[in-house]
């Protein structure tokens, strides 16, 4: 008896979703990707985080192998992650900072967020975000090494993006987030479960603390976005990744201190 497969858009998991996640969230030249699934592939976003975090960890290990300090290793990891992603998420954080606090109403905030120029709020947000992650990443690397420090927050923060994308409506009728679509609740939950399971497997109990901290960071961004623009955009998702990654690192540092 022949059984027809479910349409590709409705499947919870498709084997090519990790490739689609890498194409969307990184600058890596990944062959064979397509845009058939959009946000339906969001369960695999933590796997893109695994690759980004893994490459960052390799850069930190190389710095450590040269006898350099944990601070330099953390810097090498951050630079590598930025090169791999093209600074996509940091750009979203800067745009959100400019729009949320530079606009006097929802329409003006969205207009500012679309502007490619960066303002004082955006510059300060990047300085604080990069500086904080650098300091805490160096602290965690010094205690448990680059693998836990780089991979766990990277995976958790990509799952957080899927969660926020599923929870909030679109703030505008166009843009990257609208093009990608919104994942179903089951898709977002699958990604969250995948990232949390990996965090515990890699880091043990501190991984669970990191997961809770990442969730808190994502919820903070989500509530601010809801209040400021009534929903989510691609910039909001980028800010979610940066803030939840920073929160996960702080969670690890707090437990491991």
**Per residue in 113-154, pLDDT tens?**
999 899 999 999 999 999 999 999 999 999 999 999 999 999
Mean pLDDT of the 52-70 span: 97
Tell whether the model's pLDDT for residue 194 goes beyond 70.
yes
Tell whether the model's pLDDT for residue 3 goes beyond 80.
no
Q: Which two tokens stand for residue 238?
A: 């980028």
d(CA 13, CA 18): 10
Nearest Cα residue to 151 out of 132, 139, 137, 165: 137
Name beta bridge partners: 237: none
Mean pLDDT of the 227-242 span: 96
Tell whether the model's pLDDT for residue 175 goes beyond 90.
no
Whether the CB-CB separation of 203 and 144 falls below 8 Å is answered with: yes
pLDDT of residue 2: 46
Q: What's the pTM value of the predicted model, to 2 decimals?
A: 0.94
Whether the CB-CB separation of 99 and 230 falls below 8 Å is answered with: no
d(CA 234, CA 170): 9
d(CA 52, CA 124): 25
Tell whether the model's pLDDT for residue 188 goes beyond 80.
yes
pLDDT of residue 180: 80
d(CA 221, CA 237): 9
Mean pLDDT of the chain: 93
Tell whether the model's pLDDT for residue 30 goes beyond 90.
no
d(CA 113, CA 98): 7
DSSP 15: T
Tell whether the model's pLDDT for residue 236 goes beyond 70.
yes
Q: Which two tokens stand for residue 95?
A: 């745009």
d(CA 31, CA 19): 8
Report phi then psi at 21, rounded to 5: -65, -45
């Amino acid at each position: 008896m022949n059984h027809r497969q479910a349409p590709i858009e409705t499947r919870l998991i498709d084997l090519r979703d990790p490739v689609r996640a890498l194409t969307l969230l990184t600058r890596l030249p990944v062959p064979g990707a397509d845009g058939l699934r959009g946000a339906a592939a969001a369960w695999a976003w933590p796997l893109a985080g695994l690759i980004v975090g893994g490459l960052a960890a390799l850069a930190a290990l190389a710095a450590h192998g040269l006898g350099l300090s944990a601070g330099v290793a953390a810097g090498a990891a951050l630079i590598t992650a930025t090169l791999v992603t093209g600074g996509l998420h940091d750009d979203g954080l800067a745009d959100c900072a400019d729009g949320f606090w530079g606009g006097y109403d929802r329409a003006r905030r969205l207009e500012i967020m679309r502007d490619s120029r960066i303002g004082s709020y955006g510059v300060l947000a990047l300085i604080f975000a990069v500086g904080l992650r650098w300091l805490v990443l160096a602290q965690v690397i010094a205690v448990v090494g680059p693998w836990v420090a780089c991979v766990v927050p990277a995976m958790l923060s990509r799952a957080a993006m899927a969660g926020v994308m599923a929870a909030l409506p679109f703030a505008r009728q166009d843009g990257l987030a609208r093009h990608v679509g919104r994942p179903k609740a089951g898709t977002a939950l699958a990604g969250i479960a995948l990232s949390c399971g990996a965090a515990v497997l890699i880091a043990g109990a501190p991984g669970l603390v990191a997961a809770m901290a990442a969730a808190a960071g994502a919820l903070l961004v989500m509530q601010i976005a809801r209040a400021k623009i009534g929903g989510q955009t691609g910039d909001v998702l980028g800010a979610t990744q940066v803030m939840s990654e920073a929160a996960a690192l702080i969670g690890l540092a707090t437990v491991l201190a």
